[in-house]
Amino acid sequence: MSLPSSPRVVQIGLAGLGNVGAGVYKNLDRNRALITQRTGADIQVKKIAVRDISRPRDIDVPAERLTTDWRDLIADPDIQVIVELIGGTTQAHELVCAALRAKKIVVTGNKALLAERGQELFALAEECGVPIYFEAAVAGGIPIIQVLQEGLVSNHIVSIHGIINGTCNYILTRMSQAGLSYQDALQEAQDKGFAEADPTLDISGWDAAHKAIILASLSYGFWIPQNLVHVEGVQKVTLTDFAFAKRLGYTIKLLSVIRADADGQVEVRTQPTLVPLSHVLASVSGSFNAVLVNGDTVGETLFYGRGAGQDPTSSSVISDLCEAAAVLIYGPRHSGFVPHGLYGKSKPIEDTVSRYYLRLTVDDRPGVVAQVAQVLGARTIGISSMIQPEDDLEAPSATTSLVLMLHDAPLGAVLQAIQEIAALPCIKEPPAWMRVETLLS
């Protein structure tokens, strides 16, 4: 395939000029010559939809390119590609649907929109004969969407383990390395711009869960229902948990786990997880992201980089714009999501199996361990190791911490056991528990 003898102009409409939108505009202009040489397309921003035209901005945009109505982008016959960067799932959904019906290619970084309504949107894209591209929706500047769609197209995906929320990774890193409390680490993340003023979507785990849904759907060929995804945030992780994890040879990460079992059932979950200190994922620090993909042919592959920020995310958006330009020049290949029939069923979260960390605050007296072990044994949950430290890290003198590492067991059985343990008279605080992920070093 050779490039056109003269560059073809591709006009785009940009909806949203916030942090990422400004990066797209800036970097398209800065690297225009390089992009044109590599793609044969001169990608130009013709019109930009913003909420407030008078708002001061760090980039210089001609006033005639700005509008407060995104419908102006759809109505312009010269605009061939719509870039949706307004966020949310209501107006963004309306915009994307209107663009597809107008036969305009869509580029979006909106993971919440795709996780919640991806099946509907890609069906519409197929019906309208125009694709949706969404590299920026997962892991910022890491090209993980392209990896799954193209680089690993010949592989059955065995599993994906991802640290895919930079805010939570920054908070947990600071707790681990600097000994900051959760609240102090969150405040520092906000002060440095790694966390929003309202960090709920990040710290609840749902930002990472939305990304995990997209990765799982690409890997296994069907859209994962949100109600079958297990999600826990980082709010309950304490310095005590980090201290015990370190004694046991682990650290704690907000980990998204995606995998299919031997029967083809797919589990998707995001939660704070003990990760072995010997594993490369344990060293992913600060706001960086990493995605570990295990394919049946390629084996394990690791993708690492900045998961957010103006330049990394705009890099992914521009990559999609170049793909859109190629489609306009050479013709489309697919809608952006290709369903395939190898899998098609989500695994109930209570049936998912892993090892577990369980921390209890108990009466410091004989017989307590036997009571706890009896509850676990009744549900055939084995104990692989136990710590009851003399130099207790948290509990006052009348009580003590009891930390158990549990063998592989279904989550449903473990939660039932924890509920029963919490009701024992010797238990003085709500039990703290996390999954322990077994990873190849």
Question: How many CB atoms are located within 10 Å of the residue 328 CB?
Answer: 15
Question: How many CB atoms are located within 10 Å of the residue 212 CB?
Answer: 28
Instruction: Please give the DSSP secondary-structure letter assigned to residue 108.
Output: E
d(CA 260, CA 212): 14
**Phi/psi of residue 170, each to 5°?**
-65, -45
The alpha carbon of 418 is separated from its chain's Cα centroid by a whole number of angstroms, namely 28
b/e map of 7-17 (b: 16 or more CB within 10 Å)?
beebbbbbbbb
Residue indicated by tokens 């990394």: 312
Burial class of residue 35 in the structure, from the number of CB atoms within 10 Å of its CB (0-12 exposed, 13-18 middle, 19+ buried) = buried
Question: How many CB atoms are located within 10 Å of the residue 53 CB?
Answer: 12
347 is known as an active-site residue = no
Q: What is the largest CA-CA distance in the chain?
A: 84
| β-bridge partners, 81 | 12, 105
d(CA 274, CA 246): 10
Q: Which of 47, 211, 253, 347 is catalytic?
A: 211
By annotation, the residues acting in catalysis are 211
